[in-house]
Structure 1
Amino acid sequence: MLDIRIETTTTPKELPKADNPLKFGTIFTDHMFVMNYETGKGWHDARIVPYQPISLEPSAMVFHYGQEMFEGLKAYKAEDGRVLLFRPDKNIERANKTNRRICIPEIPDEDFLQALKAIVKMDEAWIPTKQGTSLYIRPFIIATDPFLGVRPADTYLFIIILSPVGAYYPEGLNPVKIWIEDEYVRAVKGGIGEAKTGGNYVASLKSQVKAHEEGYSQVLWLDGVERKYIEEVGAMNIFFKINGTIVTPKLNGSILPGVTRDSVINLCKTWGLPVEERRVSIDEIYEAHKSGTLEEVFGTGTAAVISPVGQLRWEDHIMKVKDGGIGEYSQKFYDTITGIQLGRLEDKFNWTVEVK
C-alpha cells in the first residue's frame, strides 16, 4: 500500500458553474497525484500536491525519444452520492501493457488503483452532475532522464490529473461524420498501435486536419499493409450493425483494446445479440451500404462512450447510414453503459468501483 503524502492547495480555484457548458479537457482541478521512479529504488514518494507546472531539463528523454504512456478513464457522481469509477482494472491492465511495450516500469495494480481513488477523493467536489458530464481522469508517465541517447530511461514521473468534462464531440450523442483515410497509415502490427502512447496520436494529426477541413469529425484508419481492412477511428473503436449482426474489427496488434469496446461486446453476448470480432474490409462496408444492410455504425471510447456515425466518406463515396440519425442499438448501448456508470442501472458485471 502506498503511503501518500498530501499537500492541500492554499489557492483553490472556483468550481465551474453548473449551468455553463463544459468543453472537453480545458479545465483542471486543484490537485494532482505524483510519484517518482528511479532504477534501483523503484516507485516511491507518492504524493498529492496542488496542480502546478512540471519542471524538467530540456534534455529530458521524453522530449527527444517519446517514452511516455497515458490512460483515460472517468469518475461519476451517482444520484445517491456515491463516487464511481468505471472498470478501472481494465485501464490499469492496459496501462501496464503499454508500459511493457515501451520499456517503462510497471506500477502494481493495487498501487495504481489506490492512487486513482486518492486523487478523485481529494477533488471530489469537482465531479459535475449535469447530464452528459463526468470527471475525466488522465494518468500518464514520462521519462525524465537528462540524457540524449536512445535507451530506456532510469527515472520517470507518474502523474494523474483530473478534468471536469462535457461531451467529447460538440455533436454530443448526435451522429458524427467520419473520413476514411486511404493515404496515411496510423500503425502496423508489431508497432505500438495497441499501446496508448502519444506517438500513435501524433501520427494521426495530418489526416485529422484534412478531415476537419472537409467537415468530418474523425478519421477511420485502414490497415497499414493491404490498406483495405478497417482498424479504428482516431479516438474510438468502431462497430457496424450489418443485417442484424454487430461486427467490429478483431484486435490484431495494431488496434487499441478499448474498455468501452469490451463493454459493448459483453452487453451483446448478454442480450443474445449476434456479435463478431473479425477482419472487416472497407469493400464489405461499401457493399453493405449499397445493399441496404448497413443498419448502424457507432464508435466506442472512454471520452465519447458511444458515438453514432451518420456518414462515412471513402474516396469519392459518401455513405449515409440509414437516415443519418441515432440507431436503436447505439442509443441502447449508450443508455445502458451510462446508466451503470451513474449507478442508475444494476451493475450485473461488477464494472463500477466506489471511491470511499
Structure 2
Amino acid sequence: MAGSGFSRRKLLAGSIALSASMLAGCERRMSGLLTSADAHPGDYPTVQAVEFIGRYLSDRTGGRLGVKVYAGGQLGSETDTLEIASFGGLDLTRVNFAPLNSIEPMTLPFSLPFLFQSVDHMRKVVDSPLGDEVLASLESHDLIGLAIYDSGARSFYNTRGPIRSPADMKGLKLRVPQSDLYVAMVNALGANAVPIPLNEVYQALQQGVIDGAENNWPSFVTARHYEVAKYYSLTHHLLTPEALVMSKQRYTRLSPSDRTLVREAARASVPFMRQKWDAKVDQAKRDFASSPGEVNTVDTAPFAALMRPVWEAFITSPRQRAVVERTIAMGEA
C-alpha cells in the first residue's frame, strides 16, 4: 500500500492486541458481524452511532449483518486501529481527522485551526459534496470513508490558570494528538506541544508531565480531566470532524447490495450521532458547572492571527487550497 505512512512493525503489534482483545474471531467475521473500534467509552456519541449502524444492518438483513464495537481503546490508539483496518485486520474504526492527516493530504484542510466559523458551518461543509470528496480520497489508502461525525469545538484547558491571550500560553506543556499540524498549532501559540495518547492524559496531568491539553466539552468532562486541570478556556480553535472508515478489503468482500446498505446505514447514523452529541455537550456543560472548575470566554482573533504561518506550511497543493477556499465560501454564503 504505497504512500500510506503505515509501518508493518506497528501492524504486527496492533494485530496481536486485536487478536487478544477480540471475543470473536473468523467465525463471526464470516457470519457478517463487522468489528469496529473506538477510543471513546461505550456511552460516547460516536460509539452509539456505530451501534446504531449495527442495529440498522441487523434490522434490514434479518440479523445477517451487524456490528460489534470495541470501545474505550480496547484495540489500541486511533493510529493503531486505522492501520489495522487498512490491512484488513479490523472492519471499521472511528478516528479523528488527525491520524488521517498523516496519510492523506486532502483530509488536512478540515483540521486547520480557525477554519470553521461554527458547528453549523462545519456541518454544512461536511454534508456537502466536498465532504464526500474528502472521504473518497481515503480509498487509495485501502480505506472506505463512510461518514463524517462531529467532534465539537476544541478548547484549551490547563492546571495553572485561565488562558485569555496567547501570552498566557507561553511555556505551557500541552498535550496534543499524534499530529504534526496540532504540534505546529500549539507551538505557534507559544506553548510546547506534547503528543501523547488520550488515555494517558489524566495521569500526565496528575504527575505534572503536562500542564494541560485541548479537547471538546464531552471529552474533557467524560475523561474527568477537569479534576486535575480545572481551567477551561473557550478558544474554539478547532472544529475538526471525525471519520468512520471501513477496511477496503472487507468492503469489497460484501455483495453490491450489502455495500449499498452499509453506506445507507452510515448516512443514517449522522443525524442520530448529532442528536446524541448535542445532548452530550449540554450535559457536559452542566456537569462542569457543578465542579470547582472555571470556564472563561476568549477573544479568538489574536490566536487566529498567529495561524497564518501554520496554514501556509501545511496547505501546499492546489487541491488542498481549493478545499480551504470552498470551505470558507460556504461560511460566507
With normalisation by structure 1, the TM-score equals 0.27
Greater share of helix? 2
With normalisation by structure 2, the TM-score equals 0.29
Greater share of strand? 1
Which protein shows a greater Rg?
Answer: 1
